[in-house]
């Protein structure tokens, strides 16, 4: 499917941010391991989170999908060996966390996914799982999926580099409560995407896990999880496209279901956008964005918020002057190499972009219309849509937005964005 986006000036309305993808993954996986029945309110129903639901069911959890709620009967740590291969589709979070969960099963689990998933780094996680009593290897010995895991998780000590993906750390912490010994996990070097680990710890605590951090080391007691009622907040990464569209097209938009005190990494979009010249009002559970469509370039470190790269890159392209984005070498290991793909697609629209090892320098302000490709990356589809509001573009392979924000086109149209889906 292609998206045709037409120049749009002035958008307005009141919308609700979709539920958080990261919190939905964590809640459903932890509830699936827990001792009894958990009620998850407002989960995100999207391709990536459905990959986690299917994987949890394959490991023995019973999940009843109701309108606006999932009722999860956990396995109380007694994970069964799946009958079939676990196919995580396009979801890196599912692959990483479920590889660790497979370490709790008795026999062999095979985990794989689409072409993009089969290119994403896994070796540090496999090494740590081995330290903790699990047999875990890459079927082609290249540190990528397909992954083969034979359970046997005991707990104990391991260390892991912090600069490739925080999902390795989240994955190891999540199985921590089910060892025969406590888990001691030391992060070596710089920890990127740290807010995502904080979110993991927050959800683990909500399910009564005993977890502590001292400097760069996490300690988890083998006490299991207690099921509970958990409500999933709105997603700042998805909301970044609504904020970005308002910033670029101009207008006034209110976004509900976003919490001021959220731990989400991508809350940073609010600081970024105000620094670029947009007026932001932050209420307890609502954000109001007001823009005249005039933005100016900034320097920004996205080390902790890698998923904002495509959004900030297009904002930089639409802004006057230079935008430098840095600190995000790890954005090269996502659905695509997002540094390279943002540079490639923005160049097609006449924007001068310089690729850095860990970011981009964008000379914004002069966009021409044209045809761009998402490379099947959901964040590229949604971010490129924002540029279309400025000049009119066609985005190829656009159906990828359904990975994380299935109502993206509907919500954008409600706000007045001129978008047409072409099958």
Ligand X SMILES: O=C(O)C1=C[C@@H](OP(=O)(O)O)[C@@H](O)[C@H](O)C1
Ligand Y SMILES: C=C(OP(=O)(O)O)C(=O)O
- Annotated active-site positions, please? 307
Binding to ligand X by residue 240, rule CB under 6 A? no
The answer to whether the annotation marks 338 as part of a ligand binding site is yes
Q: Name the binder of 404 from ligand X, ligand Y, none, CB < 5-8 A by kind.
A: ligand Y
CA 117/CA 338 separation, integer angstroms:
14
Binding to ligand X by residue 94, rule CB under 6 A? no
| One of 42, 52, 116, 193 touching ligand X (CB under 6 A) | 193
| One of 26, 375, 379, 402 touching ligand Y (CB under 6 A) | 379
The answer to whether the annotation marks 332 as part of a ligand binding site is no
Instruction: Kindly determine how many residues on this chain lie close enough to bind ligand Y according to the rule CB under 6 A.
Output: 9
The answer to whether the annotation marks 167 as part of a ligand binding site is yes
The answer to whether the annotation marks 165 as part of a ligand binding site is yes
Classify residue 283 by its DSSP letter.
Answer: -
The answer to whether the annotation marks 274 as part of a ligand binding site is no
Rg (CA), the chain: 21
Binding to ligand X by residue 330, rule CB under 6 A? yes
| One of 87, 235, 307, 377 touching ligand X (CB under 6 A) | 307
Q: Is 267 helix (H, G, I), strand (E, B) or coil?
A: helix
Cβ proximity to ligand X: between 26 and 394 the closer is 26
Q: Name the binder of 91 from ligand X, ligand Y, none, CB < 5-8 A by kind.
A: ligand Y
Binding to ligand Y by residue 92, rule CB under 6 A? yes
Query: Segment near ligand Y (CB under 6 A), from 7-15, 78-86, 90-98, 224-232?
Result: 90-98
Q: List Cβ neighbours of 40 (8 Å cut-off, separation of 6 or more).
A: 24, 27, 28, 31, 69, 70, 71, 72, 230, 231, 232
Query: Segment near ligand Y (CB under 6 A), from 34-42, 87-95, 315-323, 358-366?
Result: 87-95
| One of 24, 165, 238, 336 touching ligand X (CB under 6 A) | 165
CA 6/CA 321 separation, integer angstroms:
24
User: Cβ–Cβ contacts within 10 Å for residue 137, how many?
Assistant: 18
Residue from 244, 247, 259, 258 nearest 292 by CA: 247
CA 329/CA 274 separation, integer angstroms:
25
Do 236 and 23 meet the contact criterion of CB atoms below 8 Å apart? no
CA 404/CA 412 separation, integer angstroms:
15
Q: Segment 17-46, which members bind ligand X (CB under 6 A)?
A: 22
Binding to ligand Y by residue 93, rule CB under 6 A? yes
| β-pairing verdict for 108-112 and 135-138 | unpaired
Binding to ligand X by residue 336, rule CB under 6 A? no
Euclidean distance between the first and the last CA atom of the chain, given in angstroms as a whole number: 4
Cα 180 to Cα 153, 154, 256: the distances in Å are 8, 5, 44
Q: List Cβ neighbours of 348 (8 Å cut-off, separation of 6 or more).
A: 370, 371, 372
The answer to whether the annotation marks 180 as part of a ligand binding site is no
**Exposed, middle or buried, 285 (CB in 10 Å: 0-12/13-18/19+)?**
middle
Q: Residues 36-65: x/- map of binding to ligand Y (CB under 6 A)? A: ------------x-----------------
Binding to ligand X by residue 306, rule CB under 6 A? yes
Q: Residues 389-408: x/- map of binding to ligand Y (CB under 6 A)? A: ---------------x----
| One of 87, 307, 345, 373 touching ligand Y (CB under 6 A) | 307
| One of 38, 91, 167, 238 touching ligand X (CB under 6 A) | 167
**Residue-level length of the chain:** 423
Residue from 147, 153, 148, 108 nearest 131 by CA: 153
| One of 52, 91, 93, 238 touching ligand X (CB under 6 A) | 93
The answer to whether the annotation marks 22 as part of a ligand binding site is yes
CB closest to ligand Y, residue no: 92
Binding to ligand Y by residue 303, rule CB under 6 A? no
Residue from 8, 13, 3 nearest 256 by CA: 13
Binding to ligand X by residue 91, rule CB under 6 A? no
Task: Catalog residues that contact ligand X under the rule CB under 6 A.
Answer: 22, 93, 165-167, 170, 192-193, 196, 306-307, 330
Which residues make up the interface to ligand Y (CB under 6 A)? 48, 91-93, 307, 334-335, 379, 404
């Amino acid at each position: 499917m292609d998206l045709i986006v037409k120049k749009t000036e002035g958008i307005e309305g009141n919308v609700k941010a979709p539920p958080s993808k990261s919190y939905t993954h964590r809640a459903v996986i932890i509830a699936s391991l827990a001792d009894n029945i958990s009620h998850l309110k407002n989960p995100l129903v999207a391709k990536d989170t459905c990959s986690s639901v299917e994987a949890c069911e394959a490991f023995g959890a019973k999940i009843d999908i109701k309108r606006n709620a999932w009722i999860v009967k956990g396995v109380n740590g007694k994970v069964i060996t799946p009958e079939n291969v676990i196919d995580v589709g396009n979801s890196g979070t599912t692959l990483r966390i479920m590889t660790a969960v497979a370490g709790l099963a008795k026999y062999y689990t095979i985990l794989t996914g689409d072409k993009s998933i089969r290119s994403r780094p896994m070796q540090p996680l496999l090494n740590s799982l081995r330290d903790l009593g699990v047999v875990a290897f890459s079927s082609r010995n290249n540190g990528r999926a397909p992954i083969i895991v034979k359970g046997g998780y005991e707990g104990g000590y391991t260390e892991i580099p912090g600069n490739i993906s925080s999902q390795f750390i989240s994955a190891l912490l999540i199985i921590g409560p089910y060892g025969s010994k406590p888990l001691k996990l030391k992060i070596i070097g710089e920890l990127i995407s740290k807010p995502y680990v904080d979110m993991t710890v927050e959800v683990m605590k909500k399910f009564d896990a005993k977890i502590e951090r001292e400097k760069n080391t996490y300690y988890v007691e083998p006490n299991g999880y207690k099921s509970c009622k958990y409500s999933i907040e709105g997603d700042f990464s998805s909301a970044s496209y609504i904020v970005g569209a308002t910033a670029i097209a101009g207008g006034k938009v209110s976004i509900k279901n976003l919490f001021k005190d959220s731990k989400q990494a991508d809350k940073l979009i609010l600081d970024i956008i105000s620094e670029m010249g947009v007026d932001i009002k932050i209420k307890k559970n609502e954000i109001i964005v007001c823009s005249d469509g005039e933005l100016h370039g900034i320097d920004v470190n996205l080390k902790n918020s890698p998923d904002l790269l495509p959004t900030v890159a297009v904002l930089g392209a639409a802004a006057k002057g230079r935008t430098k984005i840095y600190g995000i070498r790890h954005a090269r290991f996502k659905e695509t190499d997002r540094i390279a793909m943002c540079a490639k697609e923005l160049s097609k629209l006449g924007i001068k972009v310089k690729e850095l090892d860990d970011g981009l320098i964008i000379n914004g302000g002069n966009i021409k219309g044209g045809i761009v490709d998402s490379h099947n990356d959901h964040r590229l589809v949604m971010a490129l849509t924002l540029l279309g509001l400025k000049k009119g573009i066609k985005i190829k392979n656009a159906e990828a937005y359904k990975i994380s924000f299935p109502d993206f086109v509907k919500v954008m149209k409600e706000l007045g964005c001129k978008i047409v889906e072409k099958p």
